[in-house]
Structure 1
Amino acid sequence: MDYSLTIIVPVYNEEENLLRVEEKLKEYALKTNFDCQILLVNDGSKDNSEKLMVEICDRNPEFNYISFEKNCGLSAAIKAGFDYSTTNLTGYIDSDLQTDPFDFDLLMNEIDNYDLVNGFRHERKDSGIKNLSSLVANTVRNWFTHDGMDDTGCPLKIIRTDYAKRIPMFRGLHRFLPAMILLQGGRIKQVPIKHFPRMAGTPKFGLRNRLIKPLMDCFAYLWMKKNYINYNVSRRS
């Protein structure tokens, strides 16, 4: 099957990283063997990010952007990316580039047989506190979702766009994307990828939104799972 891929890049106050995002994702888009475009989503940045995004898109036909009126959060940025994607596959990578765009190829190698392929940062380069909080959060999420994923928050994913567009997003649901594909009857897989320390900019997540908020979101997921509507059309006129 011939694939085309839109890579969503959420951006919130990442002016120090955007030129590197341009360099690395342009290199990937030009070297990969399928059609690839990049969608920058400005989540109400208060720094110079939007100006840089406009300049990047003006000089690179592979890049496009959308910009929110105000900060809405990571889940909203990913949801907007899903909504605006026009390719049959949609990927996601963080603008801090702690993951390697070329590892999308590892995920693409598996997409024939799956509806979501999730990266797994098996050798994380974050602080001990950050790694521990993520381990606890992923363990708790697995108790609720049973999706078998070790790293649902990994910022490197590929999803079939028709599945992605059917996900009813709420704040925090970006941590539950594999589980939401399972609710649709889809197939998921995780693949080990490389991970790097953050080179510039400031992390946007602390202890509260890595542990307390995700625990609250688990109960929202359980409500959604109980009430989720999933259907398949067998015939139409």
Structure 2
Amino acid sequence: MTSPRITVIAPMKNEAENVAALADEIAAACAPLAPFEAIFVNDGSDDDTSAAIAAARARHPWLRELRHAASCGQSAAVLSGVRAARAPICCTLDGDGQNPPAEIPKLVQPLLDDATGTLGLVAGQRVDRQDTASKKWASRAANGLRRRMLHDDTRDTGCGLKAFPRAVFLSLPFFDHIHRYLPALVKREGYRIALVDVSHRARGAGNSNYTNFGRALVGALDLIGVWWLIRRRKLQTVASVDPGLDEDA
């Protein structure tokens, strides 16, 4: 099989009703980017998500399933997908259908065009969010606090649409909920980031796996941890060595 140019990764937990539409939309969006692959990471679902993925695979041979025996969370699902990816560029989106796959080329193309290797992340920022008022308020407050502490210049790190070189993601210090701090962590490693406005829509079916309280509780600890990581990071510039000189002289 021809090696794919990009790998699309969608974490899923109990998203059986959203699988078919998501796969069909990825097929349409990524056709101009072929060859590509998609990995649906089944994060311990106890509904018919696995059967739905199998049915979608019958129509789309580029689709793969990874299955967690127990739910490990969104960041762990992303990590599993990136580790299994066969392409040098990965693009993530939520498995609930709220991130339109039609936005994928907008995130991936800057990385395909980057000849310098300095672009480490293209992050989507949602406009006209189709969420409840309480969820939007909580997200706005969390994003404001994060920007002030981390200086990542990003207004919406919770958007699932992100694209990055596989090697860059795997070089980052991994922890649960890392997907919310990718702009700050990628900048910490000395890479450029690009921000792209993307559309957003209501959940296709099923129920959210998150609550505002749960996000706030873990978010406070994560924010302090990422702040500490950034302060402790010292980028090293390696000077070229004249091969005619003795380095130990």
TM-score (norm 1): 0.91
Relative to structure 1, the CA distance from residue 50 to residue 231 in structure 2 (aligned partners, 3 Å threshold; closer, same or farther) is farther
State the match for 1:99 in structure 2. 99
Give the whole-Å Cα distance in 2 for the aligned partners of 1:131 and 1:40: 27
State the match for 1:11 in structure 2. 12
Do the aligned residues in 2 keep the contact of 1:26 with 1:62 (CA within 8 Å)? Answer: no
Structure 1 SS opposite 2:216? helix
Q: Where does the alignment leave 5 or more consecutive residues of structure 1 unmatched?
A: none
State the match for 1:214 in structure 2. 219
How far has the Cα of 1:228 moved from its partner?
4.4
Residue 19 of structure 1 aligns with an amino acid whose one-letter code is: A
Q: Is the counterpart of residue 80 in structure 1 residue 80 in structure 2?
A: yes
For the pair shown, the structure with the greater C-alpha radius of gyration is 2
Relative to structure 1, the CA distance from residue 164 to residue 127 in structure 2 (aligned partners, 3 Å threshold; closer, same or farther) is same
Relative to structure 1, the CA distance from residue 36 to residue 234 in structure 2 (aligned partners, 3 Å threshold; closer, same or farther) is farther
Matches within 5 A, 1:99-178: 99-111=99-111, 112-113=113-114, 114-178=119-183
How far has the Cα of 1:188 moved from its partner?
0.4
Mean alpha-carbon deviation: is it higher for 210-219 or for 62-71?
A: 210-219
Do the aligned residues in 2 keep the contact of 1:6 with 1:36 (CA within 8 Å)? Answer: yes
State the match for 1:57 in structure 2. 57
Do the aligned residues in 2 keep the contact of 1:75 with 1:172 (CA within 8 Å)? Answer: yes
How far has the Cα of 1:232 moved from its partner?
6.9
How far has the Cα of 1:199 moved from its partner?
2.3
TM-score (norm 2): 0.86
Q: What is the total number of aligned residue pairs between the two structures?
A: 234
Give the whole-Å Cα distance in 2 for the aligned partners of 1:165 and 1:228: 17
How far has the Cα of 1:55 moved from its partner?
3.0
Give the whole-Å Cα distance in 2 for the aligned partners of 1:132 and 1:161: 32
Q: CA RMSD in A?
A: 2.2
Residue 140 of structure 1 aligns with an amino acid whose one-letter code is: L
Relative to structure 1, the CA distance from residue 68 to residue 234 in structure 2 (aligned partners, 3 Å threshold; closer, same or farther) is farther
Do the aligned residues in 2 keep the contact of 1:94 with 1:156 (CA within 8 Å)? Answer: yes
1:164-203 deviations in whole A, cap 9, x for unaligned? Answer: 1112211111100111111110100111111111121101
Do the aligned residues in 2 keep the contact of 1:136 with 1:211 (CA within 8 Å)? Answer: no
How far has the Cα of 1:150 moved from its partner?
0.7
Q: Where does the alignment leave 5 or more consecutive residues of structure 2 unmatched?
A: 242-249
Identity of aligned residues (%): 28
Matches within 5 A, 1:30-49: 31-49=31-49
Question: Which runs of 4 or more aligned residues in structure 1 lie more than 3 Å from their structure 2 counterparts after TM superposition?
Answer: 226-236
Do the aligned residues in 2 keep the contact of 1:41 with 1:66 (CA within 8 Å)? Answer: yes
Give the whole-Å Cα distance in 2 for the aligned partners of 1:182 and 1:52: 38
Relative to structure 1, the CA distance from residue 217 to residue 18 in structure 2 (aligned partners, 3 Å threshold; closer, same or farther) is same
Do the aligned residues in 2 keep the contact of 1:140 with 1:215 (CA within 8 Å)? Answer: no
Residue 75 of structure 2 aligns with an amino acid whose one-letter code is: S
State the match for 2:28 in structure 1. 27
Relative to structure 1, the CA distance from residue 148 to residue 26 in structure 2 (aligned partners, 3 Å threshold; closer, same or farther) is same
Residue 35 of structure 2 aligns with an amino acid whose one-letter code is: D
Residue 83 of structure 1 aligns with an amino acid whose one-letter code is: R
1:91-122 deviations in whole A, cap 9, x for unaligned? Answer: 00111111211111222343335221111112
